[in-house]
Each structure stands twice: as structure tokens, then as C-alpha cells.
Amino acid sequence: MTEATITRQETSVHPLVMISHRLKLVVEYIGERGAYFILPLIIFTMLDVFGRKLTGTSFDAQLWLVENISRMFQSTMLQEMEWHFHTVLFSLVLGFGFTRNRHVRVDLFRMHMQTKLQAVIELIGTMFFMIPYTIVVIYFCYVFAYDSFVTNEISVSLVGMSHRWVIKTILGIGLVIALASGIAVWLQTILVVFGPKEMRFELMTLEWPEDRGGGVEGYERMVLADQETDLKKISMGGKG
């Protein structure tokens, strides 16, 4: 393939497809890295659980950690760290889950619809519900975080964490990322509904008509005939 051919292919991509794809890249870049917050969440949860179980024994591990390492190992601090890391994890992967079509859906009727009708429903859902709702929540989250910063909000517990505005700001950042994912899907549905029938590009929450039947919402279908053939081969081999 010559350089001129590649250039023509790049310039032939619809601008909305490019914008949607770049938004998806940003959302997934942040989401993939945000997923690593599951590790500190597990660690702090385990420390809290084991610390509670070993309290009152001949060797109080949690008390030793507090006295010799850091007050962060107090039970209240550990619990608040769990809540905070859970918030970070949830916030940063919320949009990532949407672009990968991993959010829960009620597919009793949708799965039997044609691609274009599914795209119409997706278009209405993102344009009139998801995007406006997320914008409203982002606004209130901004007020929420700003008030926390101005008042220097701390934990209601005397031994809890300070700087509550940090986690509230991260929640707002996660909502902005979710908004970007909603816009990315919305732009794609516009092209599916109103674009040329022959236009093809990578979809996020839909499947092109020729691709349907091989999967359900992004998951590969099990072909029962192939499974039965494999089982027969196994059983015949076992008899031999």
C-alpha cells in the first residue's frame, strides 16, 4: 500500500468518526489505568479485616502498625481509605465501561431489533438522558467539591482523613470522562442513523448487521453445534 493510498484513506474518514475515536482513546487510556486502583483497595480492605480479627490477641498487629509505622493503619482511617479508593476506581472506569458496552442493559426487546432501530434508541438515550443528566451532575459535583475546598472539609471522625475536596474532585473528573464516553457513542449513533448505509467503522455499543449473530453485546456466542461435535469427539476418544 502506497503512502498516497494511506493518505486518501485517512482523509476519507468522517470527522465525527475521528472525534468519536479520539474521545474513546482518552476514556480508555484513563479507564485502563484507573482500574489499577483495585490493588490498593484490596490491600487496605485486607489490612482492615485482618487488623480487626487480630485485635485483642497476644499480638495486636493493628496497634503495632499504628504505633511503629503510621496512624494511617487505624481502623477508621483504613475504612475511609477503602471508601476513597472505591470512589476513585468507580469514577475512572465508569466511562470506560460504557465505551466497552459493559454496563447493564435490559435486552428483552433490544436484542431482537435491527441495528438501525437500536441506534435510534441509543441516540435518544444518550442525547436526551445520559448527556444532559451527566452535565447536571457534573455541575452539582463542582459545587460539592468547591464548597469542600473552601471550607477545608475533613472527616466527621476526629481520627479520620482530611482534605475531602480531593476525592470529591476526582468524582467530578470521573463524571467528565463518562460524559466524554457518552458523546463518543452519541456521535457514532448519529452516523449509523443518518449516515450512508455503506459507511463502516468500529462501533462501541452496537453491531453492524453483517456482524450480528456472532456475539451478544460484545461477547462471543457459543456455537452449540460446534460444542456438540467436540463433545462427541471426546466421548469417542474416551471409549477407544
Q: Domain containing 176: what range?
A: 14-209
60-112 confidence digits (pLDDT tens): 666 767 777 777 777 788 888 899 999 999 999 999 999 999 888 777 787 78
Domain assignment present for residue 34? The answer is yes
Does residue 149 fall inside a structural domain? yes
Q: Letter for the amino acid at 105?
A: R
Rg (CA), the chain: 25
- Name the residue with higher pLDDT: 237 or 30: 30
Please indicate, yes or no, if residue 89 is contained in any of the structural domains.
yes
pLDDT in tens, 105-155: 777 787 788 899 999 999 999 999 999 999 999 999 999 999 999 999 998
The answer as to whether 33 is a domain residue is yes
The one-letter amino acid at 85: F
Domain count, the chain: 1
Residue 139 lies in a domain: yes
* Res 57 pLDDT > 90: no
Average confidence (pLDDT) over 200-215: 82
Instruction: Give the mean model confidence (pLDDT) for residues 198-218.
Output: 78
The verdict on residue 217 lying in a domain is no
Q: Is 197 helix (H, G, I), strand (E, B) or coil?
A: coil
Residue 162 confidence class, pLDDT cut points 50, 70, 90 = confident
Whether residue 94 lies inside any domain: the answer is yes
What pLDDT was estimated at residue 47?
Answer: 83
User: How confident is the model at residue 107, as a pLDDT?
Assistant: 73
Helix (H) or strand (E) holding 24: helix 15-34
Confidence of residue 1 (pLDDT cuts 50, 70, 90): very low
Cα within 13 Å of Cα(137), Cβ side: 17
Residue 182 lies in a domain: yes
Are the C-beta atoms of residues 185 and 99 closer than 8 Å to each other? yes
Own/partner pairs for 73-78, CB < 8 Å, 24+ apart? Answer: 73/47, 74/159, 75/48, 75/51, 76/155, 76/157, 76/159, 76/160, 77/159, 77/160, 77/161, 78/44, 78/47, 78/48, 78/51
